[in-house]
Amino acid sequence: MNNNIKRILILFIAFILIPFAVPVSSDTDTIGIYLTPGGTISIVVNQTAWGPICGLSEENITDFTWANITNEGNIYVDVTVNATDTSSWEPSTAPSHNKFQLSIGMEIPSPTDYIYAGGLGGEVHRYIPSNMSKKDEASYSGNVMGLAADETYIYAGGSANNFTQYWKSNMTMKGTAAYGAVVLDIQVDSDYIYVVGEGNRVRKYWKTNLTQKAVSGDYNGDLYTVCVDDTYVYAGGAVGIYPHVGSSTYQYWKTNLTQKANTASYGGAIEAIIEDTTYIYVAGGNIDKVYQYWKSNLTKKAESVAYGSPSYTIWALADDDTYVYAGGMIVDRVYQIWKSNMTKKTETARIGYNIYQVAQINGYVYAGCQNGVLKQYWSSNMTVRNTAYYGSDIRGLACSTSEQGELVETWTNLLNSPTTLIGDFPCDEPKQFGLHVDMPTSSSTNANQTTIITFTATAD
């Protein structure tokens, strides 16, 4: 900060419109607030005589207060500033702080992870990994067969021949788009949604309005699985009659979904495809192994051992930086496989139900199973940590993390008063809020100067 600027950090005086302010620690500079839907908190700052607090030769020695707000649903924030007798306030010559200004800072204190499960119950359930309790749920218009998640939305598709986009913040529906056949898998990137199923084609949709942007050629069979990287889309399924020995993985350009190449035949129906920086990993039926292919030319580099003895279909794959995780039918175990040489490192104990979906995030592996069993394992040793119950066969799993936020500051000029600093700022994660002002040193003191700042937050 320019040496000509002094910063005042304003003490909050809290007037709670509905009584849910509780201290979260012994720190007197912290106000703990929990907002349930419909709840409102109002914090009023009434500061007089700015000059004596931060005079021309004084250091910044005033304190500040964080308002730690957690909530159910979005928080909508309005901050209104009403300053009186500001005629003597003059702009500073500092280029970046040339006005008497106030800002509100918002910071996400920590990431939040969730696990989403969908299936034959026609619902999407959200689970908290720390204890695997269900947080909330959303309804889908049929059996859920595919799930995906990004930073803002959840996507569920299935037997209704469409997919639905939900707000992550409260699991309410935002929109629905038709696929034209049963949806079996969904993947997303920063801008688009990629959907496959019994329509035999990959369809690409805009996230913003769910309109279709591109469609691939005919795969000549149901597409069971899809994954994406920065450049390509990979999809596979079942070609021909059982055991679908002619099935291979197709590589499409993301830009227009035209086919670039394909692997050699896998030898059976392809049930799962995942990718990392260098390879794609493909698994399915009849062969019942995980194949590792070079992305650069789609030739096979290595393969895993068969899934069980006798071998049975692998229905799901997940990975982290070191391992591939595979699960399927009859064997009822998750295999942990080294990526480096595709040998099996270990396996879970038998679950007792077919495994339809596998996911991995932040040190845990999840198996979504027949009869609604959802297992959580430590990835370090593949032992069970916890179990949840969805209620019917789980056919879709997705993981999401809300990324660590940075301090966000928005400034307003106090010389123009009254003014609204921020209106309707949605936040679906715990946030910290703070207020401070910048005082140009050319401002003269006036004992009659008063600034009233009203901070209002409402949960939906």
* Structural domain harbouring 224: 112-402
Q: What is the mean pLDDT of the chain?
A: 76
Q: How many domains does the chain have?
A: 2
Same-domain pairing of 210 and 324: yes
Stated pTM of the model = 0.69
> CA–CA distance from 225 to each of 131, 155, 183, 233 (Å)?
30, 15, 10, 11
Same-domain pairing of 132 and 62: no
Same-domain pairing of 393 and 451: no
**What is the domain-level CATH number for residue 305?**
2.130.10.10
Same-domain pairing of 375 and 413: no
Q: What is the pLDDT of residue 258?
A: 98
Element (H, E) at 51: helix 50-53
Per-residue three-class SS string for 366-408:
EEEEHHHEEEEEECCCCCEEEEEECCCCEEEEEEEEECCCCCE
How far apart CA 197 and CA 407 sit, in angstroms, is 42
391 closest CA partner among 372, 366, 363: 372
Same-domain pairing of 22 and 145: no
Same-domain pairing of 438 and 371: no
Is 233 exposed, middle or buried, given 0-12, 13-18 or 19+ CB atoms closer than 10 A?
Answer: buried
Task: Out of 73-77, 90-94, 210-214, 294-298, pick the least confident.
Answer: 90-94
Last residue of a domain, one of 366, 385, 402: 402
How far apart CA 258 and CA 260 sit, in angstroms, is 6
Same-domain pairing of 184 and 45: no
pLDDT in tens, 249-259: 999 999 999 99
Same-domain pairing of 382 and 424: no
> CA–CA distance from 393 to each of 118, 120, 162, 249, 397 (Å)?
8, 6, 20, 27, 11
Same-domain pairing of 197 and 337: yes
Same-domain pairing of 204 and 235: yes
Same-domain pairing of 232 and 248: yes
Q: What is the pLDDT of residue 327?
A: 97
pLDDT in tens, 62-97: 333 334 444 444 445 555 555 554 444 444 444 443
Same-domain pairing of 320 and 359: yes
Report percent pLDDT > 90 for the chain.
58
